[in-house]
Amino acid sequence: MPTLPAAAVIGAGSSGIAAVKALHERGFAVECFECSDRVGGNWVWGNTNGMSSAYHSLHINTSRERMEYTDFPMPKSYPDFPHHTHIARYFDAYVDRFGFRDRIRFQTGVERAARAADGTWELTLDTGETRRYDALLVANGHHWDARWPEPAFPGAEGFEGVQMHSHDYKGEDPEFFRAKHVVVLGMGNSAMDIAVEASFSAEQVYLAARRGAHILPKYLFGRPTDQLGASPKVPFEVRRRIFQGMLKVYLGDMERYGLPKPDHRFGDAHPTISDDILSRMAHGAITAKPNIASLTRDGVRFTDGSEVKADVVVYCTGYKVSFPFFDEGLISAPDNDLPLFRRTFHPEIGNVFFVGLLQPLGAIMPIAEHQSTWIADYLAGRYALPAPAELRADMERERAQMFRRYVRSKRHTMQVDFDDFLAALAKERRKGEARARRDGARLPVTPRAEALGAAGIAR
Ligand SMILES: Cc1cc2nc3c(=O)[nH]c(=O)nc-3n(C[C@H](O)[C@H](O)[C@H](O)COP(=O)(O)OP(=O)(O)OC[C@H]3O[C@@H](n4cnc5c(N)ncnc54)[C@H](O)[C@@H]3O)c2cc1C
Ligand SMILES: NC(=O)c1ccc[n+]([C@@H]2O[C@H](COP(=O)([O-])OP(=O)(O)OC[C@H]3O[C@@H](n4cnc5c(N)ncnc54)[C@H](OP(=O)(O)O)[C@@H]3O)[C@@H](O)[C@H]2O)c1
């Protein structure tokens, strides 16, 4: 008889590989399905899965030391903010270092994940096979399903230039923006990178936004900015004020560069990080504009009534959280919102887990790693969840805090502060370990799938 539940992982991006490693190391029968021919997901430029949003010039904006897994440092020869090719190579090396490549089935997509009557998960693969698992870990990423402006701007259908989403900008053709009039919409990191890149060859770039942002440089005082965060023991308000003060001294007000005054305090929106945008604006290569009001045959009209000629409009308007393999009624994220206990456990379905489905002020990878060992501890009976009422109250508290703090937007539905989240998680894990000991280390998910002969996977 198997002693542990058999688990499936959907996706072998940076979150999925952390999950497979954690389960594999602890002796679980685990199988990962990955539609691409390699690991790394978003970080594989031109990925054969068609899902990567990486462009040719992409560098990480969370520093190397913040992004690396805790037990696998990135090579010291890497710069602080490596190129996507470095990052994809790093994820690939991680799999070999810990020896679990044979747990991943490449070029195998999960088309459907449904719960059988006994609670096990039945996966239908694009090979036509169906397989059964006791536990399902979802790591399919949340930056691949482009969110276009909805509804489209008036006049969009009659615009004769190119309209594209940042997801489709690959940047392989250095001539793409040459001598063009380009409107980039958005104030997130895609908008920053693409506006800056376009500004070196375009005739003119306009950066349109419906709200301003506190733009962070990659370095402050010679250190990667994300490494300057004070300990979570210091109250958030104090940390916020310190940071805001440093930014004020270093950059001054955003309005000085022609950008809109942010309608929120620093820390109340997902960070927009760019070393170059303000400099390109200062050089006149990028002009700030308010939101798009409408498109004409060959131009864009903005909400302040101004109008410019436009050949290309790039919508850097973010992504949808999508699970095409679940029945929408079972699990979905309308408006990007899927409430979870500490962004990991589903409150009603005890054998489905989410890895990397969060937006940290910091990098996703070390968090995905902690989520993965946490899930493995749970499935092994070494961690027990709080009682349902307590779990729900915890979720509600966390959600209420987040929605109170962040600008109301579909991009702010799963924000976490990196250090605070990990510190709180460590505390919760200690409490849950004590609960599990009291319960006699009972397995919360009964191993059935292997006994049914349906999973049929080797340990
Ligand atoms: C342009 C850009 C830059 C970014 N920069 C940073 C950064 O600097 N730092 C940071 O922390 N985060 C950054 N992010 C966030 C990004 O989400 C993470 O870096 C990281 O890619 C998350 O990894 P993941 O494994 O969760 O998702 P992904 O990297 O998207 O991987 C998901 C994997 O799941 C597979 N998959 C999906 N559906 C299925 C299916 N049905 N069946 C089988 N396989 C499936 C995909 O093929 C893919 O390999 C960036 C995002 C973008 C778009
Ligand atoms: N170099 C890097 O490492 C890098 C580069 C690119 C992206 N990323 C990461 O990738 C993720 C996605 O970033 P992103 O920039 O693509 O998306 P994003 O962070 O979701 O930003 C979307 C932007 O578009 C705006 N927007 C959305 N819908 C709009 C509409 N209908 N009209 C006008 N404006 C609209 C949003 O404004 P509101 O705020 O008002 O909603 C926001 O400014 C983030 O985690 C980001 O950090 C990293």
| Residue 211 in contact with ligand 2 by CB distance below 6 A | yes
Integer-rounded Cα radius of gyration of the chain: 23
Contact 33, 372 (CB under 8 A): no
Ligand 2: does its nearest atom lie under 6 Å from the Cβ of 195?
no
Ligand nearest to the CA of 411: 2
Per-position DSSP letters for 15-75, written without gaps between them = HHHHHHHHHHHTT--EEEE-SSSSS-GGGSTT-TTS-----TT-B-SS-HHHHSBTTBPPP
Q: Looking at the CA of residue 62, tell me the nearest atom of ligand 2.
A: 3
Are the C-beta atoms of residues 58 and 85 closer than 8 Å to each other? Answer: no
Ligand 2 pocket member 363 (CB < 6 A):
no
Best CA proximity match to 411, nearest among 273, 346, 340, 317: 317
Instruction: Note if the pTM is more than 0.95.
Output: yes
**Is the shortest distance between the CB of 41 and ligand 1 below 6 Å?**
yes
Strands 7-10 and 30-33, bridge-based pairing: parallel
Between helices 84-98 and 14-25, what is the axis angle to 10°? 10
Question: Please, are residues 313 and 159 in contact by the beta-carbon 8 Å criterion?
Answer: yes
Q: Is residue 63 lining ligand 1, measured as CB closer than 6 Å?
A: no
Asked whether 188 lines ligand 2 (CB < 6 A), one says yes
Taking the centre of ligand 1 as the mean of its atom positions, its distance from the CA of residue 365, in whole angstroms, is: 10
Tell me if 67 CB under 6 Å of ligand 1: yes
Rounded Cα–Cα distance for residues 54 and 13 (Å): 13
Regarding the beta carbon of 61 and ligand 1, being less than 6 Å apart is answered yes
Q: Which of 81, 77, 51, 56 is nearest to 66 (CA)?
A: 81
pLDDT at 231: 85
Ligand 1 centroid – CA 204 distance (Å) = 32
3-state secondary structure of 441: coil
Q: Is 193 in the pocket of ligand 2 (CB under 6 A)?
A: yes
List CB contacts of 271: < 8 A, sequence separation 6 or more.
Answer: 214, 216, 361
Answer yes or no: is the C-beta of 140 below 6 A from any ligand 1 atom: yes
Helix (H) or strand (E) holding 123: strand 121-125
The Å distance, Cα 203 to ligand 2 centre, comes to: 24
Q: End-to-end alpha-carbon separation of the chain, Å? A: 13
Q: Among all ligands shown, which has an atom nearest to the Cα of 196?
A: 2
Tokens of 160: 């004769």
Question: Atom 37 in ligand 2: which residue has the minimum CA distance?
Answer: 186
Confidence at residue 370, expressed as pLDDT on a 0 to 100 scale: 98
Q: Ligand 2 mean position to 288 CA, how many Å?
A: 16
**pLDDT, position 457:** 53
Quote the ligand 2 centre to 190 CA distance (angstroms): 6
Q: Is 38 in the pocket of ligand 2 (CB under 6 A)?
A: no
Q: Is the CB of 159 under 6 A from ligand 1?
A: no
Of all atoms in ligand 2, which is nearest to the CA of residue 191?
15
Q: Per-residue DSSP letters for 99-120? A: T-GGGEETT--EEEEEE-TTS-
Give the list of residues 6+ apart from residue 208 with CB closer than 8 angstroms, or none: 183, 184, 185, 186, 288, 289, 290, 291, 292, 300, 302
What pLDDT does 459 receive? Answer: 45
Name the nearest CA neighbour of 209 among 153, 140, 271, 288: 288
- Separation CA 367–CA 420 (nearest Å): 11
The two three-digit tokens of residue 4, written as one number: 């542990």
From the CB of 33, is ligand 1 less than 6 Å away?
yes
**Tens-place pLDDT, residues 146-177:** 999 999 999 999 999 999 999 999 999 999 99
Give the closest ligand to the alpha carbon of residue 407. 2
DSSP output for 245-309: HHHHHHT--GGGGTPPPPSS-TTSSPPEE-SSHHHHHHTTSEEEE--EEEE-SSEEEETTS-EEE
Ligand 1 atom nearest the C-alpha of 141 is 27
Query: Token match 């994300």: residue?
Result: 226
Q: Of 364, 347, 342, 365, give the one whose Cα is nearest residue 423.
A: 342
- The strand pair at 145-146 and 121-125 is best described as unpaired
Centroid of ligand 2 to alpha carbon of 4 (angstroms) = 41
Q: Specify whether the CB–CB gap between 199 and 280 falls below 8 A.
A: yes
Nearest to 226 by CA among 435, 419, 8, 368: 419
Q: At 148, which helix (H) or strand (E)? A: none
53 lines ligand 2 (CB under 6 A): no
Encode the chain (459 residues) as per-residue pLDDT tens digits.
458 999 999 999 999 999 999 999 999 999 999 999 999 999 999 999 999 999 999 999 999 999 999 999 999 999 999 999 999 999 999 999 999 999 999 999 999 999 999 999 999 999 999 999 999 999 999 999 999 999 999 999 999 999 999 999 999 999 999 999 999 999 999 999 999 999 999 999 999 999 999 999 999 999 999 998 778 899 999 999 999 999 999 999 999 999 999 999 999 999 999 999 999 999 999 999 999 999 999 999 999 999 999 999 999 999 999 999 999 999 999 999 999 999 999 999 999 999 999 999 889 999 999 999 999 999 999 999 999 999 999 999 999 999 999 999 999 999 999 999 999 999 999 999 999 999 999 999 999 987 555 554 544
